[in-house]
């Protein structure tokens, strides 16, 4: 049986590695970092990602998760709307989830090389890209960056809260250990002299500021990422997860897409490993399945992201959310 190399040991890479190992495919995953580690992530799984984990026999990795059934959206000073989630979701720390998936992959006989970078040519046959997003210095004149941290003593009105601002947003969700994940995406123009967006969003006279006023932070959980691409583009070659296409921030579907993209790649890669399908045909099959599954969803996520960051977004979001919440939520799932 032909071996397969996966570059990147995040959600998509590890999920794909586990699924292939359970089909007896020899797998090596190269990961530049180590486990456990914190990642800038909403730590919120909804939609088809939960069913994917169940089909792959990985639902047990969610034992340390917390169920989420409600969501609320806020401007700086007002609640926009609050609704039950159309489908129950889960909130889980990436610090725990990535480590559990890595442990499962090794237990299933996979070879995991941490703190190492793959020296194989990226376009080589049998190499899958799960390396995460491709950084972009600027998009439409803005630099985009993300911040994340875990905090305690944070009171929430809903299981998931999203606080909007003209130059960013912060999502908060309750985790199983009593912490709240606080994750924000922000934009600024190069050379902008204004205070960082997080400082503007967390002013004492804002609703988010009041949420975090008495919070205590786990400083080891605080992390940042720069060069975020806010609008999705499909990649070439054999790719899964954010290496394929990162959904537009704010729509809360990145973790689910990572699991789904991994599942869609399993059958063609098994056929390649068993020499019943050549590499080019396997890659084309994977790419076609991913486009069919994700293309419309990515377009909707991009539209919603642009709308909410437009001047009309804050003004039209309340009536739009009240009327179209469930419909719009499903369009990005």
Establish if 303 belongs to a structural domain. yes
Helix (H, G, I), strand (E, B) or coil at 68: strand
Instruction: Give the model's pLDDT for residue 11.
Output: 94
Establish if 168 belongs to a structural domain. no
The partner residues of 216 in beta bridges, in order of sequence, read 152
What pTM was estimated for this model as a whole? 0.91
16: containing domain: 4-48+94-135+230-331
Q: For the chain, which residues score pLDDT lower than 70?
A: 139, 194-201, 249-252, 311-333
Establish if 65 belongs to a structural domain. no
Total domain count, the chain: 1
Instruction: Give the model's pLDDT for residue 195.
Output: 61
Q: Is 331 left (phi over 0), alpha (psi -120 to 50) or beta?
A: alpha
Integer-rounded Cα Rg, in Å, for the chain is 20
Q: What is the CATH number of the domain that holds 309?
A: 3.50.50.60
The full DSSP string for 123-165 is TSTTEEE---PPP-S-BTTBEEEEEEEEEES---SSSEEEEEE
**What is the rounded CA–CA span in Å between residue 167 and residue 3?**
46
Instruction: Give the model's pLDDT for residue 124.
Output: 86
Instruction: Give the model's pLDDT for residue 59.
Output: 87
Establish if 258 belongs to a structural domain. yes
Instruction: Give the model's pLDDT for residue 318.
Output: 58
């Amino acid at each position: 049986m032909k071996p397969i190399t996966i570059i990147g040991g995040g959600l998509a890479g590890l999920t794909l590695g586990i699924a292939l190992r359970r089909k007896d495919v020899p797998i090596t995953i190269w990961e530049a970092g180590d486990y456990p580690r914190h990642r800038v992530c909403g730590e919120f799984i909804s939609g088809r990602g939960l069913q994917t984990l169940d089909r792959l026999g990985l639902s047990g990795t969610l034992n340390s998760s917390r169920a989420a059934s409600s969501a609320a959206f806020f401007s700086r000073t007002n609640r926009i709307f609050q609704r039950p989630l159309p489908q129950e979701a889960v909130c889980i720390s990436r610090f725990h989830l990535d480590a559990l998936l890595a442990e499962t992959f090794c237990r299933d006989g996979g070879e995991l090389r941490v703190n190492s970078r793959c020296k194989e040519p990226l376009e080589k046959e049998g190499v899958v890209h799960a390396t995460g997003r491709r950084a972009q210095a600027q998009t439409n004149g803005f630099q985009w960056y993300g911040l994340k941290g875990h905090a305690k003593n944070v009171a929430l009105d809903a299981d998931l809260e999203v606080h909007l601002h003209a130059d960013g947003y912060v999502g908060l969700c309750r985790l199983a250990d009593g912490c709240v994940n606080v994750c924000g995406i922000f934009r600024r123009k190069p050379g902008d002299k204004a205070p960082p967006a997080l400082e503007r969003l967390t002013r004492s006279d804002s609703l988010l500021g009041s949420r975090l006023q008495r919070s205590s932070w786990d400083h080891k959980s605080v992390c940042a990422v720069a060069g975020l691409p806010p609008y999705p583009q499909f990649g070439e070659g054999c790719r899964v997860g954010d290496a394929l296409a990162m959904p537009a921030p704010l729509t809360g579907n990145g973790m689910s897409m990572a699991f789904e993209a991994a599942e869609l790649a399993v059958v063609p890669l098994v056929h390649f490993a068993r020499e019943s399908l050549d590499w080019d045909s396997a890659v084309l099959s994977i790419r076609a399945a991913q486009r069919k599954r994700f293309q419309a969803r990515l377009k909707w996520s991009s539209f919603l992201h642009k709308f909410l960051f437009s001047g009309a977004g804050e003004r039209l979001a309340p009536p739009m959310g009240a009327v179209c919440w469930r419909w719009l939520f499903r369009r990005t799932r």
